[in-house]
Structure 1
Amino acid sequence: MHSRSHFSVVDMHSAGAQARVVIGGVPRAKGATMNEKRLYLAANYDHVRKLLMYEPRGGAQMSGSLIMEPCDPRADVGIVFIESGGWLTMCGAGTIGAATALIETGMFKATGPRTSIVFDTPAGLVTAHVEIKNGDVESVSLANVPSYLALKDHPIEMAGQGTVNVDIAYGGNFYVIVPASRFHLEVAPAYAERLMAIGRLLREETNAAVSVKHPLSAIAAPIPNVIFTGPGSGPGIHRNLVLFGEAGVDRSPGGTGTSARMAQLYARGELSLNEPFLHESIIGSRFEGKLTSVQNVAGREMVIPLITGRAFVIGLRSFFIDPQDPFQEGFGVGYAADAKRPAFTAHEERP
């Protein structure tokens, strides 16, 4: 075996969603903030994302996080998020997974049965409150970034569907939100393929028609995700399907998606502060949420979400990149069209 690159990871699942925590081999990133580091890595090391997220090491549903030193002195850990679809500003399920991995592997020393970890993310500071019993993480409550409804009932023209009214909300990432019933479908595994196809078209049409940006951001970016909403498995339970990337269907309810959904409902007068919110994924896994307070951010009213969930360690792995491997950047069927072969040469060093 000849290898010029080595990556150490803790593989997790967070409410069913794959969450790969990269603890070794992370490239050195330049930047004064975590978002600057994210942009630097995306521009210079996207091949690292591809090889860790795409097949044969990952797949369309894979997401992950890169652990590094924080930029903000108030933070304990720096983190940048990756998935099969690109580089994210925030990932709630990924942060729950990372917090669990750091505690259970001993990389972050627990200070008691309730230990807090402050993560420096590209979206801002996020605090994970970790409940621990006998060395095992029983739950993680995530105090997420300020979230808000950006656009309400915005008309989007869709080929074959006519006018579709959507909400666009932010919970660390932007989401297009629409009821699955608008397309005469249900949020259920049997309808996942059809919802994915509709979601890709809806996202494309929305990004062509709408430009949104966070009030603290200088530039607008394409909306990466779509949430299809529907009734849950019981009274008071909300259900969703989150589309990410080209073929990703979140197996968890989504941490930033849950935040965006609560912000949407709050702005529409359908959810109050501190009202319990139970969010269910397409496979029936759940996050518990509530909105703890209201903040004014750059003249806009935003809410602070608290998301509680659980993640599990499922493996410790090392990945090696052979310079003769024709699939060094991976591959994907129906996604990953940007993977190049070969990515590395025998004469090129990679971190």
Structure 2
Amino acid sequence: MDVVQQLEQNGAIKCIDMHTTGEPTRIIYSGFPHLTGTLLEQRDQAKSQYDKIRKRLMLEPRGHYDMYGAIIIPETELVQSGEAHIGTLFTHNSGFSTMCGHATIALGRFLVDTHDLTVFPRRNDLKPDLAAREVKVNIHAPCGLVRVTVPTSEDGQKSDPSRPVTFLSTPAYCAATSLQVPIPAEVRWPELGDKTSIEVDISYGGAFYALVDIQKLGFSTGLRNFNLDAVTFAVKKLKRHLETDPQVRKALQHPEDERLSFLYSVMVVDHEIGFKPDGAAGAETGLCYFAGDQIDRSPTGSCVAARMALAHEKKLRAKGQAWAYNSLVSNHFNTGAFTATIVEDGIPIEGQNSETRHGVVIHVQGNAYYTGTLSFTVEEEDLIEIIAARCVIHFQIGPVQNI
């Protein structure tokens, strides 16, 4: 038997790799164990029973510490009700997220381009708009329904990489503004100086983000010219402290479900710089630290929704006003910014977990591209790999370099 056939017979997991402004998305479309229940229950099941598979797919030797993934979930409660065409679980270096904008943009293209009904059973339910050359794909993410529009070829049968994918977020909302968080001596970092507190905003865009101005962290030159190692050191200390702060913990309570109520990321923002594409009224830049201190290469689509909700709350952004959000990568190449617009507001977000909130729906656009196809397997004799899958081993080869 051919070695490829033998490895696949052993139970291969098949993936497509893509990137959105340099941020990877490993789309796992075949071989992940079958999950049951609601999508949040499937997320719980994946965390409790199959976390070793996540580690094998995300971390070395198949991935790396900054890998990101999206697992195709064909059946969810919203798929069964007809609201969604397919579901997904998002995964990263330390677990499973509830929303991811850059991965949603990549997923949209893949779901249009695959015609394999074993991968996407409801692919034939997609109805291309041949006049507009686009097709709508509704994806059920753990945070809710995400409505994606993918540009297509003239016949509507494949995606068009020359035009951006767009999505409408689940309702995003500002959870707290201008919190003065005390910074005790053991948490302080050198650049903070003699400040004893720091101002933080908390906003939700499918996951919760703590947003802090780079200069308020103590870095006076902003994100144009800075020491990435020093900022990373500060954010690591800050994030762990924010997770224990009572006022932050209160803000993190999502009305609908306790499982959505956690601090996913700290986004460091510079409002003074950023590549501004045509049609945008303004631009800014963010440096996103998420999950296990991963740095997002993309502008972070779910945080774009959170930032638009925050700006709307502060009366800095009106409905219909387009704004560009950059990462270090998009600024470096003058391409790859995400452009966002508020399209709906005043949406009640209700539940038993906390007080009712009022959210906004954000239209976000960006481009994703294919980078490869992969088929992974595990040999029983590979003791190092099998042991490594039970834990996280992170080797820092050298200092992270700014782009």
TM-score > 0.5, shorter chain as reference? yes
Determine which of 28, 36, 51 is the counterpart of 1:30: 36
Could you list the per-position Cα deviations for residues 97-153 of structure 1 after superposition, in whole angstroms to 9, with x for gaps in the alignment? Answer: 111122234344562421011111111111110012364343211111000110111
Corresponding position of 1:341: none
Note if contact 1:175-1:224 (Cα within 8 Å) is conserved in structure 2.
yes
2:115 paired with 1:99: no
- Give the 5 Å matches for 1:333-344: 333=395
- Give the 5 Å matches for 1:1-351: 4-31=10-37, 33-71=38-76, 72=78, 73=81, 74-107=83-116, 108=123, 111=128, 112=130, 113-133=133-153, 135=158, 136-137=160-161, 138-158=163-183, 159-160=187-188, 161=192, 162-185=196-219, 186-188=222-224, 190-209=226-245, 210-211=248-249, 212-218=252-258, 221-230=261-270, 231-233=272-274, 236-284=282-330, 285-294=336-345, 295-298=347-350, 299-325=356-382, 326-328=384-386, 329=389, 331-333=393-395
CA shift, 1:34, in A, is: 1.1
CA shift, 1:175, in A, is: 0.4
Note if contact 1:117-1:127 (Cα within 8 Å) is conserved in structure 2.
yes
CA shift, 1:195, in A, is: 2.0
Q: Which letter does structure 2 place at the counterpart of 1:13? A: H
Could you list the per-position Cα deviations for residues 188-240 of structure 1 after superposition, in whole angstroms to 9, with x for gaps in the alignment? Answer: 58533222221111111111113121111146743020100002235721100
Note if contact 1:203-1:224 (Cα within 8 Å) is conserved in structure 2.
no
CA shift, 1:85, in A, is: 2.7
User: What runs of 5+ residues in structure 2 fail to find an aligned partner?
Assistant: 117-122, 277-281, 331-335, 351-355, 398-403
CA shift, 1:95, in A, is: 0.9
Could you list the per-position Cα deviations for residues 159-179 of structure 1 after superposition, in whole angstroms to 9, with x for gaps in the alignment? Answer: 224201100100000001001
Normalised TM-score (structure 1): 0.89
Structure-2 separation of matches of 1:250 and 1:188: 17
Structure-1 separation of matches of 2:319 and 2:257: 26
Residues matched between the structures, number? 334
Structure-2 separation of matches of 1:37 and 1:189: 43
Normalised TM-score (structure 2): 0.78
User: What runs of 5+ residues in structure 1 fail to find an aligned partner?
Assistant: 336-351
CA RMSD in angstroms comes to 2.0
User: Larger relative CO (CA 8 A, sep 6+): 1 or 2?
Assistant: 1
Q: What SS does the corresponding residue of 2:329 show, helix, strand or coil? A: coil
CA shift, 1:334, in A, is: 5.0
CA shift, 1:15, in A, is: 1.8
Greater strand proportion: 1
CA shift, 1:332, in A, is: 2.4
Note if contact 1:114-1:130 (Cα within 8 Å) is conserved in structure 2.
yes
Q: Which letter does structure 2 place at the counterpart of 1:196? A: T
Note if contact 2:143-2:260 (Cα within 8 Å) is conserved in structure 1.
no
